[in-house]
Amino acid sequence: MSSRDDGAMAPHVVETIQTSPFDGQKPGTSGLRKPVAIFQQPHYTENFIQAGLISGLGDKVKGSCLVVGGDGRFFVKEAAQLIIKIAAANGVSKLVIGQHGILSTPAVSHIIRKYKLDGGFILTASHNPGGPKGDFGMKYNTHNGGPAPESVTNHLFELTKTISEYKIVPNVKANLDELGSQSFQIQGEQFTVEIIDQTKDYVEMVKDIFDFDLLRGFLKTKRVLINGMNGVTGPYIKKIFIEEFGLPEEMCLNCIPLPDFGGRHPDPNLTYAKDLVDIMKEGRHDFAAAFDGDGDRNMILGHSAFFVTPCDSLAVLAAHLETIPYFKRNGVNGYARSMPTSGAVDLVGKKYGKEYFETPTGWKFFGNLMDANRISLCGEESFGTGSNYIREKDGIWAALAWLSVMANTGQSVKEILTSHWSTFGRHYFSRYDYEQVSSEAGDKLMEGLTKLINDPKTVGMTFSDPTGKSYKMAACDNFEYHDPIDGSVSKNQGIRLMFEDGSRIVFRLSGTGSSGATVRLYVEGYEQESDPNSYLQDAQDVLKPLITIALRTSKLKELSGRDEPTVIT
Ligand code: VG1
Ligand code: CO
């Protein structure tokens, strides 16, 4: 522990700085994400921090305690120092900060809950590339540990549109590398910065959730690869997989957090984690997991790169949850999925008599359901899986949950999936991303689809692909969510085209991109077979007619000028 009070030598004076609003500081699906150069503009980051404190805490800013942590990307440390200066000036009494400014997103959520803090700032643009030419991002989480709900982010955005000043103590600076407390006197009040170990609380938490003895024994018999993608999970992987489970170091890949993630997209999917997929294809490993920049996403692969879609991952974990000690103790409430996620988990809910919910894209919509004890598990098709022990999705938790299911069933990843499909049928699912399309093309595409769903003739119409495979439209809408807990309504959450055989096409624009538009197309088809082997078809083959119909109906190629998507999942 070290303490510092140089107030007598160089008084810490609160200054009020005149500023003016910046356009576009609207938090998207998960916080504000922009190119680093935008955040580096004078007053830009300061404005957002000031607005975040006021919208997040209202009149409780004074005396509040917050956590700050980021994924290690370029500009995290600078932004953390700005938060320190502005929080000090606004009367925050304590900031808990991960050493070097680093904490994974799930760890931040846990720390808020464990230490009953009032909220926190997460410094990440998640899976977006980093480095001086990449993206930076900031997100405010509230006292339940979860991303601020829309009521807060809308207020935050309003404040950024009219902001005229912020408060700052320019000469307060903390040493982010030194563990322990550092105290400052700010106009007669004490302000403390506590630098904490990045992994300690998180590791204690997962040890309490899972049976570590079981996992340690199981991993002695298996060959697994864990890929940190040079994001924030490296230190957590080392503590858990190497120190606790005794995995050889060479089984843990890219475990050094880098400010630019080694120049790559820290996004665990078949495109951006292709090198891992290729190693798995060689057939020497039984299991692999990869995580994104801030540690909240996961990709799960089995032997020979058998790919588990996140939709199926959610359903399988739902079906096996009670084998995990945390759920044995606490029981299992319902499940939830984001709207574009396939309905696989709904079938598990039906079978086991649990409630299941469909929410808009973005983890913030799960928070109320978890706080009200309605759900224990939730997930998104975008490689997000998590549970009610915290209020963020959690990559490492998902990997540990999968290893627990394997250890408990004695089955391989592929066997777990095929037996799941034999019981429930299979939801074939695919997502096509068209990144960096012009905003104009994105808007036109959504306008065209809006016309389609508003046309009374659309329901009942038959849509065919060139081979003659046809689907009759059963219903279509722009998804609207009525939160069952607080009654809030979120409109325009994505166009849904739903067909009579249960298959579905969804279109929405991404809310995490930092420039232009990203169009996301989600396609889903359900099949129930008598022969379990017939479930092993390639999703792209099964869904081809629906994809063709989706592309034609939306005029995506004409409008975007793109022949192929950037990423196929
Ligand atoms: C994407 C995903 C969404 C996820 C969000 C944040 O949002 O689709 O499911 O919650 O990213 O994840 P969008 O609006 O771009 O589709 V993370 O790991 O980037 O915080
Ligand atoms: Co993320």
Strand, coil or helix: 180: strand
Place of tokens 């506590």: 194
128 CB less than 6 Å from ligand 1? no
- How far apart, in whole angstroms, are the C-alpha atoms of residue 354 and residue 309? 22
Q: Whose CA is nearest to atom 11 of ligand 1?
A: 512
Name the token pair of 167: 């408060």
Answer positive or negative: Cα dihedral of 95, 97, 101, 105. Answer: negative
pLDDT tens for each residue of the chain, 569 residues long: 344 554 446 789 999 999 999 999 999 888 999 999 999 999 999 999 999 999 999 999 999 999 999 999 999 999 999 999 999 999 999 999 999 999 999 999 999 999 999 999 999 999 999 999 999 999 999 999 999 988 999 999 999 999 999 999 999 999 999 999 999 999 999 999 999 999 999 999 999 999 999 999 999 999 999 999 999 999 999 999 999 999 999 999 999 999 999 999 999 999 999 999 999 999 999 999 999 999 999 999 999 999 999 999 999 999 999 999 999 999 999 999 999 999 999 999 999 999 999 999 999 999 999 999 999 999 999 999 999 999 999 999 999 999 999 999 999 999 999 999 999 999 999 999 999 899 999 999 999 999 999 999 999 999 999 888 999 999 999 999 999 999 999 999 999 999 999 899 999 999 877 778 999 999 999 988 877 778 888 899 999 999 999 999 999 999 988 889 998 98
For the chain, what is the total number of helices (H) and then of strands (E)?
18, 27
Residue 136 has a CB neighbour count (10 Å cut-off) of 29
Ligand closest to 379 (CA) is 1
State the distance from the centre of ligand 2 to the C-alpha of 314, rounded, in angstroms: 17
Q: At what angle do helices 395-409 and 310-320 cross, to 10 degrees?
A: 50
Place of tokens 């809308």: 154
382 CB less than 6 Å from ligand 1? yes
Number of alpha carbons in the 13 Å side-chain half-sphere of residue 547: 19
292 CB less than 6 Å from ligand 1? yes
DSSP state string for 520-551: EEEEEEEE--SSGGGGGS-HHHHHHHHHHHHH
Domains of the chain listed by start with CATH number: 3-198 (3.40.120.10), 208-415 (3.40.120.10), 426-568 (3.30.310.50)
Task: List the beta strands (DSSP E) in 324-415.
Answer: 334-338, 356-359, 375-380, 384-387
- How far apart, in whole angstroms, are the C-alpha atoms of residue 524 and residue 539? 9
Asked if residues 214 and 404 have their Cβ atoms less than 8 Å apart, the reply is: yes
State the distance from the centre of ligand 2 to the C-alpha of 531, rounded, in angstroms: 38
Rounded to two decimals, the pTM is: 0.92
Q: Is 126 a catalytic residue?
A: yes
Ligand 1: atom nearest CA of 292 is: 18
127 CB less than 6 Å from ligand 1? yes
Asked if residues 89 and 15 have their Cβ atoms less than 8 Å apart, the reply is: yes
